[in-house]
A and B are shown apart, each in its own frame.
Chain A
Amino acid sequence: MTPTTGTYAVKLTVLAIGALLLFAPFLFQDVRSLEVAARICIFIVLVASYDLLIGYTGIVSFAHTMFFGFGAYGAAILLKSMGPGWTPVILGGIAGVAVSLVMAVAIGLLSLRVKAIFFAMITLAAASVVLVLTSQLSQLTGGEDGITYRAPDLFKPATKILTDADGKVLRLWGVAFNGKLAAYYFVFVTSLILFLLMLRFTASPLGTVLKAIRENEARAEAIGYRVVAYRTFVFCLSATFASIAGTIYAVWLKYTGPDTSLSFAIMIDILLMVVIGGMGTMWGAVIGAVLLILAQYYLRDLMGAASEALHGIPVLPELLAADRWLFWLGIIFILLVYFFPKGIAGTAMAGGARR
């Protein structure tokens, strides 16, 4: 496709988001902002890996948080039992990926041949079983309470990454070069690498085959592509990325529980992000993840402020009360889907003058 002006606009926006995330610890110097920035990094990977399925290949799965959870719990369980260190992180990550691959191959081979709707149901069933098991096997998983543990020493807030002449932690523009900063850049760099890898895959010959399967499965088969093999492979690939993202998030949060890594609320967030950003484009994952997470964290505050500002005027402060933020998020979502049917990135890239 020839690039459109919309394509350039989307790519510039994504670059700007990348730059903001790169300098986030220096630009937004409070704990909550850094929390949001790290969550955005992780969810970009998570949403992009889901888009490999739903947007590129046309596979609908509801088991994406299950794979995210395998990666998170793998690291969490080992960090808890072995104590902080890199070995449990790496072993936990590998274990998470291994379990994810076994599940993905099993689900894939059993059911990728059946109709899309049955496949979606089977993934839903598998994810529900894993969620129930997690809350039941509390010896291993901590049940509903989850697991709290310590991250590798490098990421302890007291760790001094760089020191000045007096042996105190070095500060640059007021930002201490401590373990917290190291942890953020661990999240940022690994997420960036994972995202760039996916960008690479989607632009490759493999990526074109995935799109062909989405567009016309029967014809892709007729010109010589083993469709079931490709679908199973992309399901495994997507599961692997989700699992690694889960491990990174577990290291960052130092806590893993059903609500942070397994719940269907997260699955719905992923779906919303893919739809808002635009399916079938990696850029859409970035835009969708950023918008929804910002809304989830700041819409409430923003509305609270607006409600305060409008104090004294009838109805309006009531309508904008902070507690109604979900209501407004819903309205914004409906408007977005109405005006950007292909998602923000998708609609922007399709529009704009063709050059």
Chain B
Amino acid sequence: MTAPSLTTRDLTIRFGGHVAVNAVSCDFRPGELTVIVGPNGAGKTTYFNLISGQLAATSGSVVKDGTDITGMSPSARARQGIGRAFQLTNLFPQLSVLENIRLAVQARAGMGWRMLRPVGRFTELTRKAEHYLEATRLTALAHQTAANLPHGDQRKLEVALLMAMEPDIYMFDEPTAGMSLDHAPDVLELIHGIKADPTKTVLLVEHKMDVVRALADRIIVLHNGELLADGPPAEVMSSQIVRDVYLGTSEGVE
């Protein structure tokens, strides 16, 4: 087995008396796509926030390729190769689609401090941004203001931003939420493409069971902030404990 690219060890966050994520220990390996499932309020997004740095852990640690990143800021973690797409669309609303993506490309290239030449002259940045526009089929909308895009296209731009960061760890938080049926396959195809790269680790929070079945190499189940089950999709989905958790709450697991 390859060495884990990302490890959480006893990762815990407490909000007052409420333990939102409770001692979750998990290894994630390159070339593996892990789907994180669990009922609403199970702590999936909080777990993501602890990994990408939006929240600071109460105890436990996050290790990326042997480096302890628990105390790092979100931007430092991004530079370490952890990329995150958000559940609620989280863009630069008054900038164009191209400008949005170019910002991510520029961050990846570490060129944010260049201040003497106009950004348009950095053709390699624009070319790369256009590549990701093409990959996410947003080329026709390149000069639209992000805030004016329909919801589905905003979700695609969210994914495009993550891809343009070219991280080692891709974290998708319900990437197809609220998307129409004709948009969702585009996004799933993109995730398939990333999954095909054996050097990339993918974490995906998802509710739709057909999506889970189509993509997952492994499923972990969170419930009340605790890691309830971890294993290959077929095994996890058929386990009694998971059925109990979902019983009466979800349409999904069979």
Say yes or no: is A165 at the interface (Cβ < 8 Å to chain B).
no
A224 to B145, CA, bound (A): 22
Q: Say if the beta carbon of A225 comes within 8 Å of chain B.
A: yes
B76, B86, B116 interface centre (most CB from chain A within 10 Å): B116
List residues of chain B with CB within 8 A of the CB of A226. 73, 75-76
Q: Does A2 contact B (CB under 8 A)?
A: yes
Given A219-B92, A223-B78, A223-B165; A201-B107 close (CB under 8 Å): no
- State whether A221 touches B73 (Cβ < 8 A): yes
Please determine whether A212 and B103 come into contact, CB atoms closer than 8 angstroms.
yes
Q: Are A208 and B119 in contact (CB under 8 A)?
A: yes
- A1-42 contacts to B, CB under 8 A, are 1-2
* B39 CB, nearest partner CB in chain A, Å: 26
Q: B-facing mask of A187-225, CB < 8 A → 1, else 0?
A: 000000000000011011111110110011011111111
Q: In the bound complex, do residue A205 and residue B73 qualify as a contact, i.e. CB atoms below 8 Å apart?
A: no
Residues of B within 8 A of A230 (CB): 112
Chain B residue contacts of A220, Cβ below 8 A: 92, 103
In contact, A204 and B75 (Cβ under 8 angstroms) = no
Distance A227 CA – B107 CA, assembled complex (angstroms): 12
Report, as a range, how many residues of chain B touch the other chain.
35 or more
Contacts of B79 in A (CB 8 A): 224
Query: In whole Å, how far is A11's beta carbon from the nearest beta carbon of chain B?
Result: 15
Whole-angstrom distance from the CB of B214 to the nearest CB of chain A? 27
Give min CB distance, A248 to chain B, whole Å: 22
Give the chain B neighbours of A201 by CB distance below 8 A. 115-116
Q: Chain B nearest CB: distance from A338 CB in Å? A: 22
Residue B117 at the A interface, CB < 8 A? yes
In the complex, whether B12 has a CB less than 8 A from a CB of chain A is no
Cβ–Cβ < 8 Å partners of B95 in chain A: 211-212, 215
In the assembled complex, the Cα of A139 lies from the Cα of B114 at a distance in Å of 44
B78 touches which of A1, A209, A222 (Cβ 8 Å): A222
List CB contacts (< 8 Å) of B10-69 with chain A. Answer: 52, 54
User: Is there contact, CB below 8 Å, between B113 and A206?
Assistant: yes
Taking CB atoms, residues of chain B closer than 8 Å to A204 are 114-119
User: With A and B bound together, what is the CA distance between A184 and B76 in angstroms?
Assistant: 48
Of the candidates A205, A212, A225, A227, which one forms a contact with B115 in the assembled complex, judged by CB atoms under 8 Å apart? A205
With both chains docked as a complex, state the minimum distance between the C-beta of B177 and any C-beta of chain A, in angstroms: 17
Binary flags per residue of B88-128, CB closer than 8 Å to A gives 1, else 0: 00111111100100111011100111111111101001000
Q: How far is the CA of A225 from the CA of B90 in the complex (A)?
A: 15
- Cβ B113 vs Cβ A216 within 8 A: no
Q: Are A222 and B84 touching (Cβ within 8 A)?
A: yes
Q: Please pick, from A200, A203, A205, A216, the residue contacting B92 in the complex, using a CB distance under 8 A.
A: A216
- Which of B52, B90, B119, B161 sits near A205, CB closer than 8 Å? B119
| Chain A minimum-CB-distance residue to B78 | A224
Residues of A within 8 A of B118 (CB): 200, 203-204
**Quick one: CB contact mask for A225-266 with B, threshold 8 Å, 1 for yes?**
111001000000000000000000000000000000000000
Q: Is B192 an interface residue (CB 8 A)?
A: no
A203 and B121 alpha carbons, distance in the complex (Å): 10
Given contacts A1-B96, A211-B95, A215-B94, contact A221 B75 (CB under 8 A): yes
**Complex formed: what's the CA distance from A283 to B23 in Å?**
55
Interfacial chain A residues near B73, Cβ < 8 Å = 221, 226
In angstroms, how far is the closest chain A Cβ from the Cβ of B159?
Answer: 13
Flag if B93 contacts A205 (CB, 8 Å).
no
> Which residues of chain A are near B115, meaning CB under 8 Å?
200-201, 204-207
Residue contact A221 to B74, C-beta cutoff 8 Å: yes
Determine which of A1, A2, A211, A216 lies in contact with B91 in the assembled complex, contact meaning CB atoms within 8 Å: A216
Most chain A Cβ neighbours within 10 Å, of B90, B96, B112: B112
B151 touches A (CB below 8 Å): no
Bound-complex Cα distance A222 to B84 (A):
7
Give, as a whole number of angstroms, the nearest-CB distance from A350 to chain B: 10
In angstroms, how far is the closest chain A Cβ from the Cβ of B136? 16
Do the beta carbons of B161 and A223 come within 8 Å of each other?
yes
Query: In the bound complex, what is the Cα–Cα distance between A128 and B205 (angstroms)?
Result: 51
Known A204-B115, A208-B106, A226-B75: A215·B122 in contact at CB below 8 Å: no
Distance in angstroms from A219 CB to nearest chain B CB is 5
Q: Which residues of A contact B116 (CB under 8 A)?
A: 200-201, 204
Interface contact A205-B75, CB-CB below 8 Å: no
List the A side residues contacting B143 at CB < 8 Å: 1-2
Contact A206 B92, beta carbon cutoff 8 Å: no
Whether A205 and B54, one on each chain, are in contact in the complex, defined by CB atoms closer than 8 angstroms, is no
Name the contact of A222 in the complex, choosing from B52, B111, B113 (C-beta under 8 A): B52
In the bound complex, CA of A206 to CA of B117 (Å):
10
Q: Verify B90–A218 contact, CB threshold 8 A.
A: yes
A209/B106 contact (C-beta < 8 A), A215-B95, A221-B75, A223-B161 known: yes
Complex-state Cα separation, A353 to B79, whole angstroms = 41
A229 to chain B minimum Cβ distance, whole angstroms, is 9
Taken together as a complex, chains A and B put the C-alpha atoms of A257 and B79 apart, in Å, by: 48
Contact present for B119 and A215 (CB under 8 Å): no
Q: Is the CB of B106 within 8 A of A222?
A: no
Tell me, in angstroms, the Cα distance from A193 to B78 when the chains sit together: 37
B-side contacts of A203, CB under 8 Å: 118-120
State which of B75, B93, B104, B114 has its C-beta within 8 Å of the C-beta of A215: B93
Which chain A residues lie closer than 8 Å to B93 at the CB level?
215-216
Identify 18 residue pairs between A and B in the complex whose beta-carbon atoms are under 8 Å apart, listed by A's number: A2-B143, A204-B119, A206-B112, A206-B115, A207-B119, A209-B103, A209-B106, A215-B93, A215-B94, A215-B95, A219-B86, A219-B91, A221-B74, A221-B78, A222-B74, A223-B107, A224-B75, A225-B75
Closest 7 CB pairs of A and B: A224-B78, A224-B107, A206-B115, A215-B92, A203-B118, A205-B114, A209-B112
